[in-house]
Copies of this chain bind each other. A is one copy, B any other.
Amino acid sequence: MTVPLPCRIEMNKNGTSHPGCVVWLTGLSGAGKSSIARELERALITLGERACILDGDKIRNGLSSDLTFSPQDREENVRRISQVAKLFAEAGNICIVAMISPYRDHRREARRVLPQGRFVEVYINAPVEICEQRDPKGLYARARAGEIKDFTGVSAPYEPPEKPEIELHTDQTTIADSVDKIMHYLMTSVGKNGK
């Protein structure tokens, strides 16, 4: 039985159209990572791509349920997620990671485990004041009340990426425009020119 193939950019050994890669969305809580991840996944699947989301919050309830929010445990959490993202990428997926991942060194490690050009760092940049106004999960309020320790942007640092592949200012652009920008990058830059 043969499978009819849609018009696709290229084929890899898994029979998917796109070489696997990791799209790593980093930014403050409330910056828009999860919303962009969901719409990006939808857009990719509509195009016939294999896409999936690794959500930081969800991983905290499963694979990383044994870890705290100390810097050491955050590092181990990022390490595990980057290893899982790599497995998804190797299976031909565009793996969208949505997690605060506040430390530059940890993100550098996540990049290091992927082949060159297959790690797309996307800085979801919104001022902390805006994120705190949005506060979709009520976490800033709880952090200000002292109920959450080590909360990024309030009582724990966030180190912005120095050279992200993409930077999105979500206080100035719509989710749709943000997704378009990532899609354009994926279509034009990943898997081309030996990347």
Interface residue ranges, A against B (CB under 8 Å): 1-7, 14-15, 45-48, 50, 52, 54, 62-63, 66, 76, 80, 83-84, 86-88, 91, 93, 113
Which residues from chain B contact A84 at a C-beta distance below 8 Å? Answer: 63, 84, 87
Which residues from chain B contact A7 at a C-beta distance below 8 Å? Answer: 1
In the complex, the 3 A-B pairs of residues with the closest C-beta atoms, listed nearest first: A3-B48, A52-B91, A63-B83
Which residues from chain B contact A1 at a C-beta distance below 8 Å? Answer: 6-7, 46-48
Give Cα A139–Cα B62 distance, bound, in whole angstroms.
33
Which residues from chain B contact A113 at a C-beta distance below 8 Å? Answer: 62
18 contacts between A and B (CB under 8 A): A1-B7, A3-B6, A3-B48, A4-B4, A4-B5, A4-B6, A14-B45, A15-B45, A50-B50, A52-B91, A62-B83, A62-B86, A63-B80, A63-B84, A63-B87, A80-B80, A84-B84, A87-B88
Min CB distance A93 to B, Å, is 7
Give Cα A46–Cα B173 distance, bound, in whole angstroms.
43
Chain B's closest residue to A84 (CB) is B84
Give Cα A52–Cα B20 distance, bound, in whole angstroms.
13
Min CB distance A14 to B, Å, is 7
Min CB distance A157 to B, Å, is 25
Most chain B CB within a 10 A radius of its CB, from A6, A14, A54, A91: A91
Min CB distance A26 to B, Å, is 20
13 further A-B contacts with Cβ under 8 Å, apart from A1-B46, A1-B47, A3-B6, are A1-B6, A2-B6, A3-B48, A4-B6, A52-B91, A54-B87, A62-B113, A63-B84, A63-B87, A80-B80, A84-B84, A88-B88, A91-B93
